[in-house]
Amino acid sequence: MKTVLITGTSSGIGNETALHFAKNGWNVIATMLCLDQGKSLKGIPNINCYILDVTSTESIEAAKTQIMMDHNTIDVVINNAGVGYRSFVELSDDHKINDIVHINWLGVVKVCRAFIPVFREQHYGQFINISSIAGLVNLPLGSFYHSTKQAVESFSECMAYELLDFNISVCTVQFGNAPTNFQGKTIKFEPAGVHSYTKMMDKITKLLHKKTSKNTKLKPLIVSKLLKIAENPSKNFRRHTIGFDANIMKTLRYILGYRLFNRVIRLFVFR
């Protein structure tokens, strides 16, 4: 029976992924900030929950020590933990910027760094790093979220070269707005007093909620694709794009180039 470690499993895609892998015969190491947040996973066969804060090297090492005492091997690590932050650069907050950088990007870096020695000693393993379509295209109010996801893309591709000799594969996964509580939990800075900012924030927020509500089939598509990737690791670095929205945005960006794509987005947002 294979074993997968998944970060950020207390809710959303991480929670659904943990349940899906367990249902399909995998041992699941489900990590989260607080065990009370993972009540939906308790008592599920094949799922073991651990406290792990991806922003803390000490927390990661403590979790790793306990995990490796409980499990002989780990086949796959899915870096899923992430947060959103929608703000204008002018009005951004240092604390919120630090949070999103430390969770979305450095969290991936630190978890990979911790478990590379495990994979290297086993001489096999796979890192699946959850990015976003935000890692491939740039959209309004995404200065911070998109930056972290593009950092995950670059980091993952570079790391993949380093790990080729050890039979360790690396891939990223991008998708659009799935109907989870992610958008509801996304921190949004209210641009009081700046009419242009207020107008743009309202429009982007409505567009995202509208798209999210329509993507009813995306969540099961994501978790089934993650299982398929885990069961069929690729030796070469790969980017997996899931869902109509993500694929159409990726295709448009490729066909149009950044100048025409930028014009289309501007017309769509400011019309």
Neighbours of 190 (CB within 10 A): 10
Task: Report, as residue numbers or ranges, the catalytic residues.
Answer: 10, 131, 145, 149
Q: Which residues contact 178 (CB under 8 A, 6 or more apart)?
A: 12, 13, 212, 215, 218, 219, 222, 243
Reading the block at residue 207, the tokens are 């567009």
The Cα-based distances of 149 to 31, 117, 143, 181, 221 in angstroms read 21, 24, 10, 19, 21
Distance of CA 22 to the CA centre of its chain: 20
Start-to-end Cα distance in the chain: 54
User: What phi-psi label fits residue 57: left (phi over 0), alpha (psi between -120 and 50 degrees) or beta?
Assistant: alpha
Structure tokens at 61: 């090492």
3-state secondary structure 247-271: HHHHHHHHHHHHHHHHHHHHHHHHC
| CA separation for the pair 20, 18 (Å, rounded) | 6
Q: Strand pairing of 76-79 and 85-86? A: unpaired
Residue-wise DSSP of 190-213: --TT-HHHHHHHHHHHHHHHHHHH
